[in-house]
C-alpha cells in the first residue's frame, strides 16, 4: 500500500517540495493512516506538512482525541493547529452539516494565514460507496452520482483525497500491521445518523448479495463520469442553440426548444436548472425537469411557475423567462401616484415620469404614442397613475362597450412581467383613461372647439 499511495501522489504532482499540505486529522483510523503514510515519504521528497484538528465537543472522548493528535504531531515535529467548537454554539438541528461547515471554515482560515496550498483529507473507498448510495436515495443530479472527487478547488489551493482508492478494511489492516494507534469514534455505530445506517446495516446486506458490490458501485460512478463527458459537447451545443443568458435572467426560445428531441429537451432543462441553482444552498426538486417540459410544450401562454428558492418561470408567446423572484416580479405592485395640477411632472420611477400640460396645437410632436390629448370636461382631476388590478376595464377608440385590461394584454401578447409593470391612468371618477403604451380613450375631437385642450405626457428614459 505504501508504494501504491506514493504512486498516486506522484501522478497528481503532490510530492513537490514547495507544497505546504494541511492534513485534516481527527484521530480515527482513516486520518491516522493518512498521517503515517505521509510521514513515510522520504524526507528529501516529502512536502511541508501541518496538522489540523477540530474538537467538536460532541463526544466524551473529544478532549482525549485532541490531545492524542496533538502529541502525535509533536512526536513527528509537525505544526499542530486545533479549534474547539464550544457546545453553546451547537445548533438545535442539522448538527452534521454545521460541524462540517465549522471544519472547513477552520481549514480555509489556516490555509490563508499560513500560505498552505493543499488540504488533504482521509476519505476512502467506503466513504465513496456510502456517498453515492445516499445521494441516490435522497435524489440527486447525475453529476452528483459520480460521488466524491479526488480533487477540487479549495480556498486558494486545492482539496485532495488520496485514499479514495483504498477500502476501510485496508486501512484497518495497515494500521494493525504497523501498530499505529488510533481512537475509534463511538458515534460511528449510532444509527441516528443516515450515513451510519448505510454503513452498518444497508451496505453489509448488499455485500452479502455480491462480494463485488463496492467495486460495482465505483465502476458505475466511473462509467457515468465517462458518459457525461462524452455527451457534454452535444448537450452544450443544444443548450446554446435554444437558451440565451441575459443580465438577470435566462430565456428559452419556445420554437427552437420544441424542435429538439424529448431527451435533448430534458437535458437542456437540466443544464439550465444546474446554472440557476449553482450557488443555491438547496438543490432543485427532482420532478422539475418533467414538469417544466410538459408546461413549456402544452401549458397555457402567459402563465407562471414558482420554483424552489424564489425562482420563477414565465411563459410568453415566443420565449420562457427564468429569473430570481424580486419585488418587480413577485406580484403586481400596489404603488400609485397622484397628478392633481396642470403644469407639473410626477416621477413614477427612476426613469419614468408623467405630466399634464396645456396643449400647443402647433407642436405636432405632442401627437404621439406617449401622449394623450384630453378636452376640458371629459376628465376629472386628480388623476391616479397605478398598475392594473383585478377586474379593471376600459373603453377606447374603436371599441363598442368596455374591455378587461387582462384581455387587452392577452390580445397584444404582452408577457406577464410587462403586464405587471404597465401603468394606467384613471380620473377621480374611476374611469380608466389610458393604458400607457397600449390603449387610449378618445377624449379629443379634431373639430374646432372653444374648450381647453390638455396633453398628458409620458416619458421613459432609455437605460
Residues of the binding site for ATP: 26-31
In whole angstroms, how far apart are CA 250 and each of 14, 143, 256, 297, 417?
A: 40, 22, 15, 18, 14
3-class secondary structure, 341 = coil
Provide the 8-state DSSP code for 124. -
400, 387 in Cβ contact below 8 A? no
For 289, list phi and psi in degrees, rounded to 5: -65, -50
CA distances (Å), origin 418, targets 138, 250, 349, 437, 447 = 39, 16, 15, 11, 36
Contact of 26 with 55, CB cutoff 8 Å: no
How big is the CA angle at 185 (ends 146 and 155), to the nearest 5 degrees?
A: 50
- Residues of each annotated binding site: 26-31
CA atoms within 13 A on the CB side of 65: 26
Report how far apart, in Å, the C-alpha atoms of 93 and of each of 96, 99, 179 are: 9, 11, 38
**Nearest-angstrom CA–CA distance, 340 and 384:** 9
Q: Give the whole-angstrom CA distance, residue 308 versus residue 284.
A: 6
- Count of all residues that appear for the chain in the document: 463
CA 218 to each of CA 126, 163, 242: distance values in angstroms, whole numbers, following the listed order: 10, 14, 35
The phi, psi pair for 160, rounded to 5°, reads -125, 150
Could you give the CA distance from residue 437 to residue 10 in angstroms, rounded to a whole number?
A: 68
Q: How many CB atoms lie within 10 A of CB 449?
A: 11
Amino acid at each position: 500500500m505504501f508504494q501504491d499511495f506514493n504512486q498516486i501522489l506522484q501522478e497528481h504532482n503532490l510530492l513537490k517540495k514547495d507544497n505546504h499540505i494541511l492534513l485534516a486529522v481527527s484521530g480515527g483510523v482513516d486520518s491516522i493512516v493518512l498521517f503515517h503514510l505521509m510521514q513515510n515519504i522520504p524526507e528529501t521528497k516529502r512536502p511541508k506538512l501541518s496538522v489540523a484538528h477540530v474538537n467538536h465537543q460532541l463526544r466524551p472522548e473529544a478532549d482525549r482525541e485532541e490531545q492524542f493528535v496533538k502529541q502525535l504531531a509533536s512526536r513527528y515535529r509537525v505544526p499542530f493547529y486545533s479549534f474547539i467548537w464550544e457546545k453553546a454554539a451547537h445548533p438545535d438541528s442539522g448538527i452534521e452539516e454545521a460541524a462540517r461547515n465549522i471544519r472547513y471554515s477552520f481549514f480555509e482560515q489556516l490555509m490563508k494565514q499560513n500560505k498552505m496550498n493543499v488540504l488533504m483529507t482521509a476519505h476512502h473507498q467506503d466513504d465513496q460507496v456510502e456517498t453515492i448510495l445516499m445521494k441516490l436515495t435522497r435524489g440527486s443530479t447525475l453529476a452528483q452520482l459520480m460521488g466524491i472527487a479526488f480533487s477540487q478547488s479549495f480556498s486558494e489551493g486545492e482539496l485532495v483525497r488520496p485514499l479514495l482508492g483504498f477500502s476501510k478494511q485496508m486501512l484497518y489492516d495497515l494500521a494493525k500491521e504497523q501498530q499505529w494507534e488510533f481512537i475509534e469514534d463511538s458515534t460511528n455505530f449510532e444509527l441516528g445518523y443516515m450515513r451510519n445506517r448505510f454503513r452498518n446495516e444497508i451496505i453489509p446486506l448488499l455485500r452479502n448479495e455480491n462480494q463485488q458490490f463496492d467495486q460495482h458501485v465505483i465502476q458505475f460512478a466511473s462509467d457515468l463520469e465517462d458518459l457525461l463527458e462524452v455527451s457534454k459537447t452535444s448537450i452544450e451545443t443544444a443548450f446554446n442553440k435554444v437558451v440565451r443568458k441575459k443580465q438577470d435572467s435566462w430565456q428559452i426560445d419556445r420554437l427552437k426548444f420544441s424542435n429538439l428531441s424529448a431527451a435533448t429537451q430534458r437535458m437542456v432543462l437540466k443544464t439550465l436548472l444546474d446554472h440557476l441553482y449553482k450557488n443555491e444552498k438547496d438543490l432543485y426538486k427532482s420532478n422539475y425537469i418533467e414538469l417544466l417540459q410538459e408546461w413549456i410544450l402544452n401549458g397555457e401562454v402567459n402563465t407562471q411557475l414558482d420554483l424552489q428558492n424564489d425562482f420563477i418561470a414565465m411563459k410568453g408567446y415566443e420565449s420562457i423567462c427564468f429569473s430570481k423572484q424580486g419585488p418587480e416580479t413577485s406580484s403586481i405592485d400596489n404603488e400609485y401616484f397622484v397628478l392633481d395640477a396642470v403644469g407639473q411632472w410626477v416621477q413614477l420611477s427612476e426613469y419614468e415620469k408623467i405630466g399634464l400640460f396645456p396643449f400647443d396645437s402647433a407642436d405636432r410632436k405632442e401627437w404621439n404614442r406617449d401622449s394623450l390629448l384630453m378636452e376640458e370636461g371629459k376628465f376629472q382631476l386628480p388623476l391616479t397613475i397605478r398598475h392594473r388590478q383585478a377586474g379593471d376595464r376600459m373603453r377606447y377608440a374603436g371599441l363598442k362597450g368596455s374591455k378587461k385590461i387582462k384581455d387587452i394584454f392577452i390580445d397584444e401578447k404582452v408577457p406577464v412581467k410587462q403586464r405587471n409593470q404597465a401603468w394606467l391612468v384613471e380620473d377621480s371618477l374611476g374611469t380608466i383613461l389610458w393604458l400607457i403604451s397600449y390603449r387610449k380613450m378618445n377624449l379629443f375631437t379634431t373639430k374646432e372647439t372653444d374648450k381647453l385642450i390638455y396633453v398628458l405626457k409620458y416619458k421613459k428614459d432609455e437605460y
